[in-house]
């Protein structure tokens, strides 16, 4: 999968989940583009550092949480906890189109 394809898939997932509700409020189509780019970089960095071994769903969830806190936070523990189901959904959807983790 190419980098542009990966970025577009990530953006589509972020738009679909819309954790902050910004797209539902009429935010532009590129609202989550910066977050998609950061997640794309995270996935590529983790994969490269492991000789192509894919990033785990747990690592994806942690990465989404970190990106969200950086871009929309800082959040309190309670605010992060409220968003956790969204982070997990995004991680699960990302994991579904990445190559399986080698065990």
Nearest CA to 20 out of 66, 63, 71, 57 is that of: 71
User: Each residue of 7-38: pLDDT tens digit?
Assistant: 999 999 999 999 999 999 999 999 999 999 99
Q: What is the pLDDT of residue 52?
A: 59
Report the pLDDT value the prediction gives residue 50, as an integer from 0 to 100. 60
The per-residue pLDDT for 2 is 76
pLDDT at 45: 86
pLDDT tens by residue, 61-98: 999 999 999 999 999 999 999 999 999 999 999 999 88
The verdict on pTM exceeding 0.75 is yes
Question: Is residue 86 helix, strand or coil?
Answer: helix
pLDDT-derived band at 39 (thresholds 50, 70, 90) equals: very high
Instruction: For residue 32, give the nearest of 68, 4, 63 by alpha carbon.
Output: 68
Task: Report which of residues 82 and 99 the model is more confident about.
Answer: 82
Q: Is the pLDDT of residue 101 over 80?
A: no
Residue 53 pLDDT > 70, yes or no? no
Contact 10, 94 (CB under 8 A): yes
């Amino acid at each position: 999968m190419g980098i542009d394809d990966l970025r577009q898939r990530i953006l589509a997932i972020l738009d679909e989940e819309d954790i902050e509700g910004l797209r539902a409020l009429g935010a532009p189509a590129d609202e989550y583009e910066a977050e998609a780019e950061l997640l794309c970089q995270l996935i590529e960095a983790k994969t490269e550092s492991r000789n192509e071994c894919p990033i785990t769903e747990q690592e994806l969830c942690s990465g989404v949480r970190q990106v969200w806190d950086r871009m929309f936070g800082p959040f309190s523990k309670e605010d992060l906890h409220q968003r956790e189901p969204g982070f997990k959904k995004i991680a699960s959807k990302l994991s579904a189109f990445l190559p399986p983790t080698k065990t």
